[in-house]
Amino acid sequence: MKALDGIKVLDFTHVQSGPTCTQLLAWFGADVIKVERPGVGDATRQQLVDVPGADSLYFTMLNHNKRSIELNSKNETGKAVLTRLIQECDVLVENFAPGALDRMGFSWERIQEINPRIIMASIKGFGPGKYQDCKVYENVAQCAGGSASTTGFLDGPPVVTGAQIGDSGTGLHLCVGIVTALFQREKSGRGQKVSAAMQDAVLNLARVKMRDQQRLAAGPLKEYSQFGEGIPFSEATPRAGNDSGGGQPGRILKCKGWETDPNAYTYFIIQAAVWEKVCDVIGEPDWKTADGFKSPPERLDKLNQIFERIEEWTMTKTKFEVMDVCNPLDIPVGPILSMKEIAEDEGLYATGTMVKVDHPERGEYLSVGCPIKLSDSHVEVERSPLLGEHTAEILSQVLGYSDDEIQDIVASGAVGELKAAAE
């Protein structure tokens, strides 16, 4: 048994933000039916192609455990099929451009009329307001949500992060909203509309930077390296380089091999509780009691000097040796792991965080599995569907159309050519 067994999801999502959400629902056991334009499908199937003729990794890594039906929702018969799907499903998830669903003739009011129990979940770039009609992609959301202005170094431009906090981050937020709405429906019997704006999701993840924005009114942010360096603060939360958001002094430091390996670095934190141990490890025992070093406030204007000294030590060790020495002493450090190192980490395969999946067109590929582990709802990662692979079975088994009716639907052009499910 899976947590969301029996829940049917009409997955009208594309690109990254929506598909990450419905992929989680599928991993939790929902029957996720991905509706795609006949002959075209989700645009990511053909983006960043590495194996000609096969669905891209962009698509296959975001659409595990789903079924695919080709359906033209602008064709009259297609609209009738979509209406049946809305009647059958518990949840509809979409991330079209603002107004696209209304233009198809499926406003929230209409969807509620068709199925009052349905939960309709939408991702848009912005919430209601002056930017509500904009189409939005990942980096736009990172910029609008306050992440870019607070990421990077003080003397450099704003920087976007590689983690897709705008797309996948919003998908996660929407998933929480959907499951919460399903829980409320148990008591109310009614569906509801769930909305997550990408700007809002990024801002939520950048919450500590809004904390600092307000703290600026009370004076400079003393835990920022900038303070110790005597650089004045302006009116907005500044970029803090690799300082930690939690207020403990921390930096990324070179390790042995940094000259040739771009990831031979470690993160190193010197919180008060472990200061004395840090001093011993780096060979500066006098700093434990020396004036100017013995307490955290005294150290603030010497952080560059202190971290330079620690780096002299980390450069004599690999990033893993740094861990081996510091972890037993509770000194918080973290190796900067490359994607190659992560892809080769057997421990992550043992937990299902990394998985190997077979695919009929591309053979075996690596994917990131479900990062949320439920002890009573085991996740088995299955390959993504081929375009329209399940059109026939969804029309007959989910929607109950007869063979003759299915032939009429095909003849109307509402769905693509029926295909047999691949192995």
| Active site members | 167
Query: Using the rule CB under 6 A, is 15 a contact of ligand CAO?
Result: yes
Minimum CB separation of residue 95 from ligand CAO in Å reads 3
CB–CB of 314/268 below 8 Å? yes
Q: Looking at 129-137, 277-285, 310-318, 343-351, which segment touches ligand CAO (CB under 6 A)? A: 129-137
In one-letter notation, the amino acid at residue 46 is Q
What binding mask, one character per residue, do residues 165-194 give for ligand CAO by CB under 6 A, x or -?
--x---------------------------
Asked if residue 22 lies in contact with residue 177, where contact means CB atoms within 8 angstroms, the answer is: no
Asked if 124 is part of the footprint of ligand CAO (rule: CB under 6 A), the reply reads yes
Q: What are phi and psi of 63, to 5 degrees?
A: -135, 35
- Provide DSSP, 98-112: TTHHHHHT--HHHHH
135 near ligand CAO, rule: CB under 6 A: yes
**Cβ contact 146:177 at 8 Å:** no
Stretch that binds ligand CAO, among 31-39, 148-156, 349-357, 397-405 (CB under 6 A): 31-39
CB 194, CB 121: distance < 8 Å: yes
Closest to 53 measured CA to CA, from 65, 44, 45: 45
Give the phi and the psi of residue 38 in degrees, each rounded to 5. Answer: -55, 135
Residues 221-250, interacting with ligand CAO (CB under 6 A) = none
Query: For ligand CAO, which is the closer residue by CB, 119 or 123?
Result: 123
Nearer of residues 136 and 322 to ligand CAO, judged by Cβ:
136
Residue with tokens 């969301």: 4
* Interface segment toward ligand CAO; rule CB under 6 A; list 119-127, 147-155, 204-212, 249-257: 119-127
Residues 6 or more apart in contact with residue 206 via CB below 8 angstroms: 145, 146, 147, 150
What is the rounded CA–CA span in Å between residue 402 and residue 399? 9
CA–CA distance, 128 with 85 (Å, rounded to integer): 28
Nearer to ligand CAO, 71 or 240 (CB): 71
From the list 71-79, 184-192, 330-338, 367-375, the region that binds ligand CAO by CB under 6 A is 71-79
- Nearest residue (beta carbon) to ligand CAO: 97
Residue (of 13, 3, 51) closest to 33 by Cα position: 13
Which is nearer to ligand CAO, 299 or 390 (by Cβ)? 390
Q: Which CB, 109 or 423, lies closer to ligand CAO? A: 109
Q: Which residues contact 169 (CB under 8 A, 6 or more apart)?
A: 163, 198, 201, 202, 205
Contacts (CB under 6 A) with ligand CAO, residues 32-51 = 35-37
- Of residues 42 and 223, the one with the C-beta less far from ligand CAO: 42
Instruction: Indicate the residue among 202 and 278 with the shorter CB distance to ligand CAO.
Output: 202
In angstroms, what is the minimal distance from the CB of 42 to ligand CAO? 9
Looking up tokens 């959400």 gives 21
d(CA 272, CA 398): 60
Q: How far apart are the first and last CA of the chain?
A: 24
Q: Determine the Cα–Cα distance for residues 392 and 390; give it in Å rounded to an integer.
A: 6
The tokens 């209409």 sit on which residue? 110
Minimum CB distance to ligand CAO smaller for 47 or for 351: 47
The binder of ligand CAO chosen from 123, 221, 322, 331 (CB under 6 A): 123
CA distances from 304 to 182, 237, 271, 299 (A): 51, 21, 15, 10
Only segment of 120-128, 209-217, 231-239, 241-249 that touches ligand CAO (CB under 6 A): 120-128
For residues 85-104, which are near ligand CAO according to CB under 6 A?
A: 95-97, 100, 103-104
The nearest distance, CB 381 to ligand CAO, in angstroms, is 22
Q: Which stretch binds ligand CAO (CB under 6 A): 13-21, 174-182, 241-249, 304-312?
A: 13-21
The neighbour count for residue 401, using CB atoms within 10 Å, is 18
Q: Is 138 in the site for ligand CAO (CB under 6 A)?
A: yes
Q: Is residue 413 part of the contact set for ligand CAO (CB under 6 A)?
A: no
Compute how many residues bind ligand CAO; rule: CB under 6 A.
25
**Residues in touch with ligand CAO (CB under 6 A):** 15-18, 35-37, 71-74, 95-97, 100, 103-104, 123-125, 135-138, 167
